[in-house]
Chain A
């Protein structure tokens, strides 16, 4: 890659990033001056795209740390070369995710009451607190990796792994403990969130690593290629499990004639569920990555693996969006079914958060030898 080509890519990327951030900043201004009337949420559908986006980004951040630390704790050191990048990407995702969540709160200035007036019975209190602690632990662990403090790395990887599982499952319990919402309620929801975090984390790890090397025009080392190949196979296995879960879920809700299930498979989210989540997010990446599992050492090209990772990420976001929104549609007493249309402000804030992720990650890639 020539220097001129590199500079062009850099300035193009920077321009796009600044444009997205500027639009997001404009939406923040509108939010503060006009209130949440700029969002599409209503009293019947109170949680909107920002909550779905937060869940997606938080799960991805947890999943990155979960998978990287899991191998480390088990003593599988050949994935260590991905550990630093995974942790920094997790931080890059979690910080703007928490910022996105604060945009959804009506009165962020009163967050001090989290400390002054805590309700220990509330899953949301635990989610906020554990994610805050988890973020600090993540930063400490990254610092120990960066400084190569081996003993601290080992201890931190165990503690952060536990924190990642706790944070992710508590996030799932926010939904799982709402008895009134049939599509959310249940002890399986927190477990499903942990599983989803692992899938999303693996996909993010594969996509981010390959994309970074391609963007910078650097060749990948053989050990890194081998690690990516193995992770791709593991992701393929998890996608297979996700497909089985999805099939069984549809069978059980159809058998029991759960009325809310039609919001996912029929109207209004049928197209998104069948096409984007199932086909694009699960089936196609599963097929692509499974081809990589042959005995021959020649795997599929890295670009295809990155594409599969990106498709999984898109599918997982759509899954979270459908989960959060459709769970709120059903109403009691014959009240008209809830409906929801996301607004420009919501999308611009989501893309703004992703732009911040890219900006932080790019800084780390350039300055911290990820």
Chain B
């Protein structure tokens, strides 16, 4: 088939039109945030403080998380590790809750090929499970083992979630109860349920917030600083 000038211009024009329309759909698709009751507050930076001296390992936070988010079987956004510190003759046990650190430099967001996980202006690291392709690269990259994969059937499984539905074949993690924050309730279920007040949640940008005061009072530290992720969850050590 001989390519005439007329055909060349027709084909080029068609290709350009397809590219233009496709880009439009692409830009629309990239705006992944669903409508919220309150807009994202870019002046805040949400974070958490966990006092390991107060944590008694009751796992109320784990139960709260599962109940609040209606996680699928085998998935939880929070878990509590049983730890030990000290020398052999002075060893003592303590409990360390583990959840997504909502890092300031989230490696999970860097490696996700489709931007299904990203850092929001208010400090939350969001997992968009309408876009996740389940490649598990974020699970590999996360130094805190905070992410879990939902092994349920990819197309048949649906479970009601605070926002939308949980589907099979996607990665899940702690959301800092994003649905509450978007509705104007600045709190997390794990913080509410903790019987000893070991957890404090709030705005790290506000020096007068409860979480900032707690971090200062107990010299809160970040875990695995050497991984350069700048986690926004601070821990008060046993000391």
Contact = CB atoms under 8 A, between A and B. Distances in A.
Given A108-B133, A333-B98, A32 B155 contact: yes
Interface range on chain B (Cβ under 8 Å from partner): 35 or more
B30 interface: yes
A332 B143 CA distance: 8
Interface in B151-165: 151-157
Contacts of A174: 137
Interface in A284-329: 328
B93 to A, nearest CB: 11
Contacts of A333: 81, 83, 96, 98, 145, 223
Given A122-B112, A334-B81, A334-B84, A110 B29 contact: no
Interface string A107-133: 111110111111101111100100000
Given A32-B154, A35-B157, A107-B133, A46 B26 contact: no
A335 to B, nearest CB: 6
B113 A332 contact: no
A25 interface: no
A333 B157 CA distance: 33
B135 interface: yes
A179 interface: yes
A122 B117 CA distance: 12
A129 B212 CA distance: 44
Contact of B137 (A108, A124, A179): A124
A335 B144 CA distance: 10
Contact of A107 (B96, B154, B224): B154
A116 B83 contact: no
B219 interface: no
B144 A117 contact: no
Interface range on chain A (Cβ under 8 Å from partner): 35 or more
Contacts of A128: 113
A34 B170 CA distance: 14
Contacts of A46: 136, 139-140, 149
Contacts of B144: 332
Contacts of B134: 105-107
A133 B39 CA distance: 40
B115 interface: yes
Interface in A115-168: 115-119, 121-125, 128
Contact of B153 (A35, A104, A109, A335): A35
B168 interface: yes
A110 B227 contact: no
A178 interface: yes
B135 to A, nearest CB: 6
A36 B111 contact: no
Given A35-B169, A333-B83, A178 B153 contact: no
A35 B26 contact: no
B107 interface: yes
A180 B106 CA distance: 13
A44 interface: yes
A115 B23 CA distance: 9
Contacts of B142: 180
Contact of B26 (A104, A107, A116, A179): A116
Given A36-B149, A46-B136, A114 B141 contact: no
A106 B154 contact: yes
A113 B133 contact: yes
Interface string A229-267: 000000000000000000000000000000000000000
Contact of B25 (A43, A110, A116, A177): A116
A127 to B, nearest CB: 8
Contacts of A37: 151-152
A174 B145 CA distance: 18
A33 interface: yes
Contacts of A34: 153
B198 interface: no
Given A107-B170, A116-B30, A43 B137 contact: no
A181 B107 CA distance: 13
**10 pairs of A and B residues whose beta carbons are closest in the complex:** A106-B134, A106-B169, A125-B113, A113-B114, A46-B136, A35-B153, A116-B29, A124-B113, A46-B139, A180-B143
Interface of A: 32-37, 39, 41, 43-44, 46-47, 104-111, 113-119, 121-125, 128, 174, 177-181, 328, 331-335
Given A110-B131, A117-B114, 4 more contacts: A35-B154, A114-B133, A122-B110, A128-B113
8 contacts: A35-B154, A106-B171, A107-B169, A114-B133, A118-B114, A125-B113, A177-B111, A334-B81
